[in-house]
């Protein structure tokens, strides 16, 4: 585990013009990559609202002790970061609807959130789900920056995805630490992770296929050539993310076991002209 405890999570306003839109194949003319990342974006507004609500529910039952003050403050900043993500991805997704894509993932996710509410899922279980998703996003975020997955994309979208990636890496410990402070154990955490993994893999695949179908690029050879490179290439998802994703199954796992804060800080420093600190 890293020796430096996290003390600050700045809430930033990213300078980006999404009103002017972007190309259908914004990722360097590559239909598969564009539609895969579009699919991920479609899940964010509902998903990140669930993360925010879970952390709020966890903080509400956190004992009012001095040793929890720092984590409580970081939770407030976490909520600020996720709020800005969902806001910007909401604008981005509106543009996708204008391009003829349909966000089906948001309805699947919303139905699940409503089911959780109906059955009264405890804050600890909500946090276990959130920590699982946060591990996915942190693993993908690390690969996005480390292997420059956004290279070749429209500049403003590179900026948006890389900014989101940098902040996901920055706040990757929050839901996990809150879960543990509230008494959450490894068995529950790992069980929810396996469930979340199955849901995420299924829904991201269906939404990507639906995007490609509506984009009329589903049956092109170039689409599946790109998919092969994205998943199986040297810098691809399977090669680079399988290890980090499996690491979560270790009972003693902590997100800071992989200390990648420097990578996130590097990007944020290099692009400091494009964001301002809100709080
Ligand atoms: Fe986020
Ligand atoms: Fe996050």
CA distance 22 to 86: 18
Nearest to residue 39, comparing CAs of 212, 223, 241, 219? Answer: 212
> What pTM did the predictor assign?
0.96
Amino acid 279: pLDDT: 79
CA of 121 to the centre of ligand 1 (A): 22
Listed range (3-12, 112-121, 242-251, 268-277) with the worst mean pLDDT: 3-12
> Does residue 23 carry a pLDDT above 60?
yes
Q: Tell me the CA–centroid distance for residue 220 and ligand 1, in Å.
A: 32
DSSP string, 204-233: HHHHHHHHHHHTT-TT-HHHHHHHHHHHHS
Average pLDDT over residues 184-205: 98
Ligand closest in space to the Cα of 133: 2
CA distance 185 to 139: 21
Integer CA distances (angstroms), 175 to 9, 110, 131, 172, 214, in order: 13, 20, 5, 7, 36
Q: What is the mean pLDDT of residues 151-169?
A: 97
Average pLDDT over residues 155-177: 97
Percent of the chain with pLDDT over 90: 97
Asked if the model's pLDDT at residue 1 lies above 80, the reply is: no
Rounded to the nearest angstrom, the distance between the alpha carbon of 179 and the centre of ligand 2 is 15
The pLDDT value given to residue 164: 98
Residue 78's CB: how many other CB atoms inside 10 A? 26
Query: What is the C-alpha separation between 92 and 95, in angstroms, rounded?
Result: 5
Q: Report CA(28)–ligand 2 centroid distance (Å).
A: 26
The pLDDT, as a whole number, for residue 95 is: 97
SS (H, E, C) 249-279: CCCCCCHHHCCCHHHHHHHHHHCHHHEEECC
Question: Residue 48 Cα, ligand 1 centroid: separation in angstroms?
Answer: 6
Quote the pLDDT of residue 198.
Answer: 97
The mean of the pLDDT values for the chain is: 96
Mean pLDDT throughout 204-216? 98
Give which of 82, 15, 20 is closest to 45, Cα–Cα: 82
Interval 27-46 mean pLDDT:
98
Which ligand has the nearest atom to the CA of 85? 1
- Supply the DSSP string of 150-205, one letter for each residue: TTTB-HHHHHHHHHHHHHHHHTTTHHHHHHHHTT--HHHHHHHHHHHHHHHHHHHH
Structure tokens that stand for 204 in this block:
């991201």
Cα separations in angstroms, 213 against 30, 32, 105, 164, 208: 15, 11, 15, 27, 9
| Mean pLDDT of the 182-186 span | 98
Q: How confident is the model at residue 30 (pLDDT cuts 50, 70, 90)?
A: very high
- The DSSP output letter for 62 is S
Would you place residue 5 in the very low, low, confident or very high pLDDT band (cuts 50, 70, 90)? confident
Residue 3 has a pLDDT of 53
Mean pLDDT, residues 89-109 taken together: 97
Query: What is the average per-residue pLDDT within 212-230?
Result: 98
Mean pLDDT, to the nearest integer, of 40-51? 98
pLDDT in tens, 49-62: 999 999 999 999 99
Q: Ligand 2 centre and the CA of 25: distance in Å?
A: 26
Angle at 69 between CA 66 and CA 70, to 5 degrees: 130
Q: Averaged over 51-80, what is the pLDDT?
A: 97
- pLDDT recorded at residue 4: 77
């Amino acid at each position: 585990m890293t020796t430096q405890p996290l003390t600050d999570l700045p809430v930033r306003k990213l300078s980006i013009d999404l009103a002017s839109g972007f190309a259908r194949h914004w990722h360097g003319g590559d239909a598969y990559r564009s539609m895969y990342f579009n699919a991920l974006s479609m899940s964010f507004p509902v998903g990140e609202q669930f993360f925010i609500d879970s952390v709020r529910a966890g903080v509400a039952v956190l004992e009012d002790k001095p040793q929890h003050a720092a984590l409580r403050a970081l939770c407030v900043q976490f909520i600020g970061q996720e709020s800005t993500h969902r806001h910007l991805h909401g604008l981005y997704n509106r543009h996708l609807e204008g391009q003829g894509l349909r966000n089906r993932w948001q309805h699947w996710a919303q139905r699940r959130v409503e089911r959780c509410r109906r059955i009264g899922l405890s804050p600890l279980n909500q946090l276990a789900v959130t920590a699982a998703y946060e591990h996915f996003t942190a693993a993908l975020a690390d690969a996005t920056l480390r292997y420059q997955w956004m290279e070749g994309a429209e500049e403003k979208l590179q900026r948006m995805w890389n900014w989101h990636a940098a902040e996901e890496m920055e706040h990757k410990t929050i839901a996990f630490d809150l879960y543990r402070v509230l008494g959450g154990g490894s068995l529950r955490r790992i069980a929810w992770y396996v469930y979340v993994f199955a849901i995420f893999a299924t829904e991201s695949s269906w939404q990507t296929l639906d995007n490609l179908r509506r984009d009329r690029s589903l049956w092109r050879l170039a689409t599946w050539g790109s998919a092969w490179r994205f998943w199986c290439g040297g810098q691809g998802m399977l090669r680079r993310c399988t290890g980090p994703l499996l690491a979560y199954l270790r009972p003693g796992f902590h997100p800071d076991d992989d200390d990648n804060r420097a990578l996130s800080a590097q990007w944020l420093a290099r692009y400091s002209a494009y964001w301002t600190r809100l709080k």
